[in-house]
Amino acid sequence: MTDLSSPSVVPPSGPRREIVRVRHELKRRTLRVVRTHSLSPRMLRVTLAGPDLAGFTSLGFDDHVKLFFPATDGNEVARDYTPRRFDPQALELDIDFALHQAGPATAWALQAQAGQEIVVGGPRGSFVVPPDFDWHLLAGDETALPAMGRRLSELPEGARAFVFAEVDGPQDRITLESRAAVEVRWLYRGETGPDGLADAVRGFTPPPGDGHGWGACEAAAARGLREAVAALGLPKAQMRVSAYWKRGAVAFHEEQAG
């Protein structure tokens, strides 16, 4: 399993299980497409590369960078994406696109070919969550899969993770590799109600010990998911639920801890 750990990507030292916020120097990088790979009918991985990636740092599994896409009026539009994998030796960066709605980002990803250039900014900062919690809860829809996949890839052997992933159907499942002991429950929208994610988390009985809860999904669903994660009894500092998109809105990305 490849992760973002490298000599240049090392979480800062600190007390055990302290969640640390780290700021990064904001930089725009011009990168080129080197390859694309379909992970599912609705998830496409685009690998970017270039010398501008020297010094790239991403310490948190739910970091986001801004990709700047050409717009029809000749300007550019920005969208937030998770740095799924960074290889500091090859200077390659993977970005996974959830092809869940029409727009400039989806249009660009679907036509991306080797040699095309794109500008990437950030990440601006990171929330560094230690991997040594007794258990980890990850819950989200397709837009959260890159962050959840990255987190699982970074967890060490001996860690425990519980994943609730909501997608349209079985065809949208992707491989989630990890050295940790992972239990994954796939939720299909045709079989669950509008609060399927929150309902699944409400039915979750966490194991003993100190846990961390994380989630991301559509804005309306995020409210219920946030309440469900909070109901597990986690301290506010040990949970984070974000709205990665909002139905009917463009360029929406809201993060919230607790």
Query: Is residue 210 helix, strand or coil?
Result: coil
How confident is the model at residue 3, as a pLDDT? 39
Torsion angles phi and psi, residue 33, rounded to 5: -75, 135
Full DSSP string of 93-136: EEEEEE--S-SHHHHHHHH--TT-EEEEE---EEEE--TTSSEE
Going by their DSSP bridges, the two strands 28-40 and 117-121 should be labelled as antiparallel
Q: Of the candidates 108, 132, 103, 106, which has an alpha carbon nearest to the alpha carbon of residue 118?
A: 108
Digitized pLDDT (tens) for each residue of the chain, 258 residues in all: 333 433 333 343 434 588 999 999 999 999 999 999 999 999 999 999 999 999 999 999 999 999 999 887 778 999 999 999 999 999 999 999 998 767 899 999 999 999 999 999 999 999 999 999 999 999 999 999 999 999 999 999 999 999 999 999 999 999 999 999 999 999 999 888 789 999 999 999 999 999 999 999 999 999 999 999 999 999 999 999 999 988 645 554 555 443
What are the structural domains, with CATH classification, of the chain?
20-125 (2.40.30.10), 129-245 (3.40.50.80)
In angstroms, the first-to-last Cα distance of the chain is: 30
How confident is the model at residue 8, as a pLDDT? 35
Distance from CA of residue 111 to its chain's centroid? 23
How confident is the model at residue 249, as a pLDDT? 54
Stated pTM of the model: 0.89
| Residue whose token pair is 């994610």 | 197
Distance, CA of 190 to CA of 39 (rounded, Å):
21
Q: CA Rg, the chain, in Å?
A: 18
Burial class of residue 205 (count of CB atoms within 10 Å of its CB; 0-12, 13-18, 19+): exposed
How confident is the model at residue 211, as a pLDDT? 97
How confident is the model at residue 70, as a pLDDT? 85
